[in-house]
Structure 1
Amino acid sequence: MLRPILFFVALALAYWSAHSVHADTRPNIVVLLCDDLGYGDLQCYGHPHIKTPNLDKLADSGIRLTDFYSAAPVCSASRVGLLTGRSPNRAGVYDWIPQATTPKPDARDQVHMRADEITIPHLLRQAGYSTCLAGKWHCNSRFNSPAQPQPGNFGFDHWLATQNNAAPSHKRPQNFVRNGEPLGEVDAFSCQFVVDEAIGWLDTVDHDKPF
């Protein structure tokens, strides 16, 4: 039985699939997730000094939510909540996840999103969508290791990611991985590299399918 929070998603995707035999009218979906962004950090949400003109344009042409709850106040848990639609505790993640370089007394170096979790990208792929992740993963401690599930196990056809932040610096980072293959040092700033990856994927993905 599908978990209730994902049932509506599955039902909607089934509806789109059933009504798209002759013309695929399913919407494309792009999620922009800003790391450690506070509610009032954007100009469109009232910040008096920070200028965010491009995000403000999106807000002006869409819906701006002003009354909502985050699944968690920290990175890893909030990402798991967004991907699954569930309380992150139920999905196996309750806090910020450190990279598993040395054993931790509280075993936080063993934490990861449960392998059997149903994610929204997984359901989208089942419904015929192409899926991509570009950026920060931070849903496991043993990144790019067979010891724990990776982005490809949760519904992403293509992925470029780091476990946490770009390292040793956002300039010429050395820890990006693409579809399980470490890239070594990248001669770019991490933010532009991630954006270029996403745009490149959009340019080459099968345009007969929604993404």
Structure 2
Amino acid sequence: MLKKWLPVILAGFLVLAGCAPVADTPISSPVSDHKAYDVILEFPADRYPETAAHIQDAIKKGHSEICTLDRDGAEENREESLKGIPTKEGYDRDEWPMAFCAEGGKGAHIAYIDPSDNRGAGSWISHEVEKYPDGTRVKFVVKSKGKAPKEAEPVEGEQSEGTEEETFEDKNCSDFKTQEEAKKYLLPGDPHRLDPDGDGIPCESLPAS
């Protein structure tokens, strides 16, 4: 009788001891399976080297490589990120994360960028993300190392009123002859005076080119 029940008793002992064989069932991890981004955007450093270098530097210093599209918050984020950062003749103030990213705003990394590089990059990014709705998480990957830009140094206190130079924020459609000219001054995803409906086409009353 003992021989008959010995295998059963032994099996029960192994289960209690945690040594019993377990079926080889795959285990899925919602954390490892979940991606922190929806799409990847490869930024062309060869075309816009200063902007590329700024993106790389900002990410290296701990700023997010993910941009969650939030076009409605662009104006407020830009105001917060540039507060206290004076304009500089011959340069644009570039922000990372960008103003139309939910991660942007107060505390964003600022660098003085050549206007043609900055505005060209802004136009390129705007075109690339216009097909994605707000809430899309875009991961930026710089394809190659860009030229190092000069960084902006925050000043103490609030930014003084008035500036010595005219920037893209001062432009109106009356300053351009074609939409193509105006597009260079269009901020990515920003429904400001050049693009009130935020569709990426500035100054729609002007000819395309």
TM-score tier after normalising by the smaller chain length: under 0.3
TM-score (norm 2): 0.26
Question: Which of structures 1 and 2 has the larger relative contact order (alpha carbons within 8 angstroms, sep 6+)?
Answer: 2
Larger Rg over CA atoms: 2
